[in-house]
Structure 1
Amino acid sequence: MTSLIFYGGLRTIGGTIIAVEYKNKRVIFDFGLTYNPAGQVLDGQVMPRPSALTRDYLRLGLIPPIDGVYPQDSLPSHSSILSAQEYEGETAVLISHLHLDHMGAMGLIDPSIPVYMTKESQHLYESLHTIGEGAPGERTYQTCIEEQPFSIGEIIVTPLPVDHDIVGACAFHIETPEGSILYSGDVRLHGAHPDRIQSFVNQSKGKGFDVLIMEGTTLRNEEQLSVEDLTADASNPEDLLTEEKRVPEQIAKELNAVKGIGVFNIYHRNIERIQNMILAGKEASRTVVLEIETAEIASNHLEEANFHIYESEEIQEEKDNLPLWKRRLLEKYPTVSVQEINKNPEAYLLQNSYPNALELLDVNVESGIYIHSNGVPLGSFDPAYDNLHRLLDLIGLEKVQVDCGGHAIPQHLQYLVDELDPKILIPLHSFHPERLFPPNGKQFLPKYGSVYKLLNGDIFEE
C-alpha cells in the first residue's frame, strides 16, 4: 500500500519533510530547515563545521534520521541510520521552492539520489551558488518541468506552478496506484500572479486527489485570530498590498516624502522585489544602488536592470583579487562609492542588508529613510530585529515597513481549502495547524515518525 511518513514541519514554520512510498519507491518533499532564529544553536557565533555537517545537524535535531538519504561517510560511527548505499529502495527528492526552510539541507542528500526542482528554481540556484548562498555540500540537481508529469517507479509526480515570493515555486500532485496527494508548497493569493493560484486550483480539481497537505503559516491561536477572521474570502483587505506590482508606488511615495537618502532591506531571493525597487527608484528619480551579490542575481534574472553597484571598501581594496563573477559585474555596471553618495544622498536608493548594517555608519543618513521590505530580520521573533532597531536609533535613521508577504492570509487559506474541498486535509507548516478545517472532509493531524497508509480515499495509522 501507499505509505506517508512525516519527518518535519508539522508544527513549525518550514522544515517540511514528508515521504510518500509505494512498493520500493519513494519521493520525499521538501528538505529544508526549520525557521526559528530565537532558538537557533548555529546563531552566527557558533559556526557550523563543514566537515561534519550531517553528523552535527542530526545531533542537533536540524535534520531527521531518515534511512537511505545520507552518504555513508557522513553518518556518525555506529549509527543505526541506513546510508543511501545500504538502502534497498529508490528515492527521489522534490523541492517546491528555494527558501531555506524548504531546501536548506538538500545539499546533504547523497549525490546518487536525484533532487528535482523547477527550471526557474534551478536557474536561481545557479546564481545563489555563485554568490556563496547555495546549499552546503557538493552535488548536482535535476530539473522538472511545470505541469509535465514524471515518474519514480509507479509514483507519478506533476509540478504545478503557484504564486509565492520567489520564482519557480510549485505545488506537487503525487499519484500512486492507490491514491493521490496534493502538496501545496507555499502559496498566496495577494501576490503579483493570482492567476497561477486559480490555475493551480483548477488543475488540482481536474486531476483529483484524496489528501491535501496545506501550508498554514499565518494561522494563529483563537486569541490572536478570531473565527470570523478565518472565514473563507478571496478578496483582499484594504490594508493589504493587493499585488507585488503596487510595491513601487508605495516605495516611491515614502521616498518623495523625505529629503535625504533612501535605504532599503529586502530578501534578494525575491527577484520581483528587486525589480520593483528598481522601478521605485525610477519613479522617485533616484539611482538604485545594489550590493554586489544582489547585482549578480539581478543581472541573471531581470531583462532590464538599471542600477549601480555599491563600491564597498572591500571592492575598492581588493579589485584585482576579486572573484571572476565580481570582476565581470564591475565591468558591466557602473559603481558608486559612499563618498559619491554623501555628496548628494537624496539622489540615491541604497540597498543595505542586515549583515552589512555597519556600512550605514559611513553614510549621510540625515533626513533619510530605511525601508524594511521583507528583508531579514523579518520580525520581533528574531533577536536580531531589536538589534536592527538599536542601530537605526543610534544613527538616526527612520524605519518604515513596506511589505507584501509570501504566505496566504488566514481567510485566503480557508478559501483555498474550501475551493479544493479535500476528502482529507493535513495542515502543517504552522504553529496552529488545527485552526484550518475542510468544508466537507476530515482534518487529519499526523505525528512525527508514524507510518500512515493511504487506501480507498482514506488514511490510517499502520
Structure 2
Amino acid sequence: MTNVTFISGLKEIGGTFVRVETDGAVCLFDFGFAVAARIDPAVRLRAESLAADYARLGMLPREPGIYEPAAAAALGVAPYAGAGKPVFFFISHMHIDHMGGLDMLDPGVPVYMSAESLTLYRRLVAQGDITMRGHDRCIGVPYGGQFTVEDITVEVLPIDHDCIGAAGCRIRTPAGTLVYTGDYRFHGFHPERTRAFAEACRGADLLITEGVTVSNGDVDMLSLSEPTEPDRTEYTLLEEFAALAREEPGLLVVNYYERNVERVWRHIDNFAAAGRTLVLDARLADYVAAFYPQARLHVYGPTIHGRPLRPEWQVVNRSALLADPTGYVLQLDYADSYELLDLVPCVSRYLHADGAPLGAYDASYAKLLELLKAIGVPYDYRSLGGHASPYYLRWMADTIAPRILVPLHSFRPEQVASARAGCRILPQAGQTITL
C-alpha cells in the first residue's frame, strides 16, 4: 500500500504539503507557510503556542504525528511521540513557503534536505532569519545520494531554482515511484540540472509538479511551441548589471534576495570587471562566505548591526561611497532603507533584483516605492524569477511521461497539461491517491 494525500498548497503559491504513507513509514513534504499574508509583523508572536497559532490560522496543517505535545493537544491531533510509525520530512529548498514551518516541528522529527540546503539553513538560523528556533534534527544529503526509512527510499536530485541548494526527489515505495519537482526553472545558471532531473525520472508512476507561471492569464499549454529565443536568464542579468555599472554616473544600490547566493557571488566578479566593488551587508556576506570561502568580500559598515565579521573581510564605510560613488555597488536590505537618506547625493539608481519586499502583494512594496519617490532615487525593477515558463512546465511533464500527473503550487493548476501523461488528477484538499 502507498497512499499519497494532498493536504495543502494545491491552488495557491505556497504551503505545499503532501503525505506519502506506506505500511512502514510516513514521508512528508514540504513544510512552508500557506496564506502567509495572514502574518502581520505588528502582532506579537506567542512563542509558547506558535505552532498551534499558525495551524489555527491555516498557515500550517493540522497534521498528526509532527508537533510537540502541547501544540498537538491544542489542535486535537496526536503528537510526534504518538506516531504509530516512523515519520520524516523532505524539504526541497530554503524558501519560506517551502520550509518556514521547520521552527514549529517537534525537535525529534527527522528532516532531510540537500547538503547545500542544510548549509544555508544553518546560516539562516545563525543570522536569526527564522521565525522562532532552529530545528536541530536536519540531515543533509549530497546531490544524487539517497536514504531509506523502512520501506521508503528517497533520492535527492539537483534542480535549478533561484535558491541555492534546491532539489527535487524521487521516492520509491513498494507500490511505485513518485517524483516531486519542488520549484524549478530553465533560465538559471544550471539549466542542465533541471533537464537531467527530468531525464532521470522518466516513467514515474506519479509526478507532482509546481505550476507557478500559469497562475495568471489563460494558457493553452498543449499548443505551445518551444521558444525561438531564450528567456532572460541569469547570464542576461549579469550583462545588464555590468552595462549599468559602466554607464551610470553615480552609486548603484541593489536589493538581492539573499537566498539566491550564487547570483550574489557571481555579481561580485561581474561588477569588479566593470570597475566597481560590490559591498554587502554582514548578513549576506555570511551566506556568501559559507558557500564560497575564497570570495574576497567587502562589508558595509553602517549595516553590520553587531554581527561578527571575518578578519579577511574589508569594511567599507559611508564616507568611501560618498567620495567615490562610481567605484561601488551597495547591496542594501529593505530593513536598512533609511541609509539611503545619507547617500541620496551620490545614488544613481536603485536596482530591485528579486529582493524583499518581493512584489505588490507585500504591503512594504508600496512603501519602498514611496520612499524612493520622496527622496528622488530612480527605481529599476530587474526581476528574473525562479519558475519555469509554461512551455517548459509541459516539457518537464512530457519528458517524465508519468502514469499520473498532479500539478499544484499554482493558482490555476488545471492549466498544467501533458499529452504524454497517462492521466491528470487535480486533487481537492485531503484527497488521497492509492498506488
> TM-score with structure 2 length normalisation?
0.94
Structure 2 residue 33 is matched with structure 1 residue 33: yes
1:231 pairs, out of 218, 224, 229, with 224
- Tell me the amino acid that sits aligned with residue 178 of structure 1: A
Q: Does 1:220 align with 2:215?
A: yes
| 1:311, distance to aligned residue in structure 2 (A) | 0.7
C-alpha displacement of 1:24: 4.1
Q: Within the alignment, does 1:256 sit opposite 2:246 as a pair?
A: yes
Counterpart of 1:52? Answer: 49
Provide, for residues 113-168 of structure 1, a one-character-per-residue CA deviation record: whole Å limited to 9, x for no partner.
21001111111112111111146334321122322232111111111111111222
- Counterparts of 1:19-418 in structure 2, within 5 Å, are 19-34=19-34, 36=36, 40-77=37-74, 79-134=75-130, 136-140=132-136, 141-205=138-202, 208-221=203-216, 224-227=217-220, 231-233=224-226, 235=227, 237=229, 240-242=231-233, 244-312=234-302, 315=305, 322=306, 326-329=307-310, 331-366=311-346, 368-418=348-398
Shift of 1:303: 4.3
Residue 452 (structure 1) aligned with residue 414 (structure 2): no
Cα distance in 2, alignment partners of residues 245 and 6 from structure 1: 37
Question: Which deviates more from structure 2 when the two are superposed, residues 292-301 or residues 381-390?
Answer: 381-390
Question: Could you tell me the TM-score, scaled by structure 1's length?
Answer: 0.89
Q: Distance in 1 between matches of 2:59 and 2:223?
A: 32
The 1:228–1:17 alpha-carbon spacing in structure 2 relative to 1, beyond 3 Å, is: closer
CA contact (8 A) 1:15 1:101 kept: yes
Q: Is the Cα–Cα contact under 8 Å of residues 161 and 170 in structure 1 kept in the other structure?
A: yes
Number of the residue aligned with 1:5: 5
Measured in 1, the distance between the counterparts of 2:134 and 2:243 equals: 45
Aligned residue-pair number: 433
Q: Is the 8 A contact 1:255 1:369 kept in 2?
A: no
Same amino acid, percent of matched pairs? 34
Per-residue Cα deviation, 1:27-68 (whole angstroms, up to 9, x for no partner): 0011111364xxx23222123222221121112111010011
Structure 2 residue 415 is matched with structure 1 residue 435? yes
Distance 1:232 1:114, change over 3 A: farther
Cα distance in 2 for residues equivalent to 1:365 and 1:283: 25
Shift of 1:383: 2.4
Unmatched tracts of structure 2, length 5 or more: none
Distance across 2 between alignment mates of 1:304 and 1:332: 10
* Residue 250 of structure 1, CA deviation: 1.1
Amino acid at match of 1:27: C
8 Å contact kept, 1:106–1:135:
no
The answer to whether the 8 A contact 2:73-2:79 is kept is: no
- Give the Cα–Cα distance (whole angstroms) in 2 for the partners of residues 393 and 311 of structure 1: 26
SS in 1 for 2:156: strand
By how many angstroms is 1:76 displaced? Answer: 4.5
When structure 1 is superposed on structure 2, of 338-347 and 383-392 the one drifting more is: 338-347
Separation of aligned partners in 1, 2:207 and 2:303:
51
280-289 or 157-166, which deviates more? 280-289
Q: Secondary structure at the match of 2:81?
A: coil
Give the unaligned 5+ runs of structure 1: 316-321, 455-462
2:11–2:413 CA contact under 8 A, matched in 1: yes
Change (3 A) 1:109 1:150: same
